[in-house]
Amino acid sequence: MASPGVVEAIDDRRAAGAALLTARRRLARAGIRTAALDAEVLLAHVLSSTREGLLAHPERRLTFAQARRFSGLVSKRASRMPVAYLTGNKEFYGLGLRVTPRVLIPRPETELLVELAIDFLKAHPDARRVIDLGTGSGAIAVAIGRRVPSVRLEASDINLSALRVAAANVRAHRLVSRVRLTKRDLLEGASPADLIIANLPYLSAVQRRRWQPELSYEPAQALDGGRDGLDLIRRAVLQARGVLKPAGALLLELDPSQAGRVERLARAHWPAAKITIHVDLSGRARALRVLRP
């Protein structure tokens, strides 16, 4: 006869399919629209498996420790902590990145900025020095560094904790020799660059009041753009005049509602430049490009 301890261990094991169903219901009750997907991602993370692997083997049994860990993650997700902070990972531009609550979770719309940067660098093979301003997790610098081997990047941020996360990503993607991490306030004291690329905080006070509960887990310093959302962008555009080399490019991510204002701002500072607005995959204005003559 099994000892009471063994019986307890067997009873506490659960099938993955049943655990997923319970979690999905719990997340849906908490108002999470992606309840099924989130439950699968979290369970795959706990079991060091893939979502496909889980769905192919719903009979797979969880140990007591796995069930308890999964339940803890589901509770946190039900209180709206983003999935990426729970798993510690986020995919950006096809690359796996480490993320913690010290950094903004890289967004798919920022991939547009990376694409514009890569196009510029390919069309200008002499452009070697790139600044990723407000690097956060290092997403932009890592993506450009992996795709364009000829460039050297400075990834800067005002926040030292963010730079530590960026350093881990730079190491993980074997870019230590080409990406220099720097703590600085915007472009103060920066050396001349051929390309400046920045996804700075741009949410306005009104947008911050209306934001999704998930955003309250992300660092305010990564989101808060001041009253109209443009405090940092205004300063960066002004400073870029002294840092961007002739024939260089400035790329800025923006909120679609800011496109006209940011374009006028850029024209006031760079009257002779070629200035264009670019749309993201959902057709919304998302990036400004300044090509300096």
Ligand X SMILES: C[S@@+](CC[C@H](N)C(=O)[O-])C[C@H]1O[C@@H](n2cnc3c(N)ncnc32)[C@H](O)[C@@H]1O
Burial of 245 (0-12, 13-18, 19+ CB in 10 A): middle
Q: For residues 127 and 116, is the Cβ–Cβ distance under 8 A?
A: no
| CA dist., res. 212 & res. 291, Å (int) | 35
Judged by the rule CB under 6 A, the positions of this chain that interact with ligand X are: 103-104, 106, 110, 134-137, 139-140, 157-159, 162, 185-186, 199-201, 221-222, 232
Q: For residues 58 and 16, is the Cβ–Cβ distance under 8 A?
A: yes
Residue in the structure block whose two tokens are 């024939």: 247
Look up residue 106 and give its DSSP letter: P
- Strands 95-98, 14-15: pairing kind: unpaired
Please state the closest distance from residue 283 (CB atom) to ligand X, in A: 20
- Kindly give the residue spans of alpha helices, DSSP state H, lying in 126-230: 139-147, 160-172, 205-209
> What is the dihedral angle through the alpha carbons of 232, 237, 241, 247, rounded to the nearest 10 degrees?
130
State the Cα angle at 167 between 142 and 278, rounded to 5°: 30
Q: Max Cα separation, the chain?
A: 87
Residue in the structure block whose two tokens are 């926040």: 159
Please state the closest distance from residue 190 (CB atom) to ligand X, in A: 10
Q: Which helix (H) or strand (E) holds 285?
A: strand 285-291
| CA dist., res. 154 & res. 193, Å (int) | 9
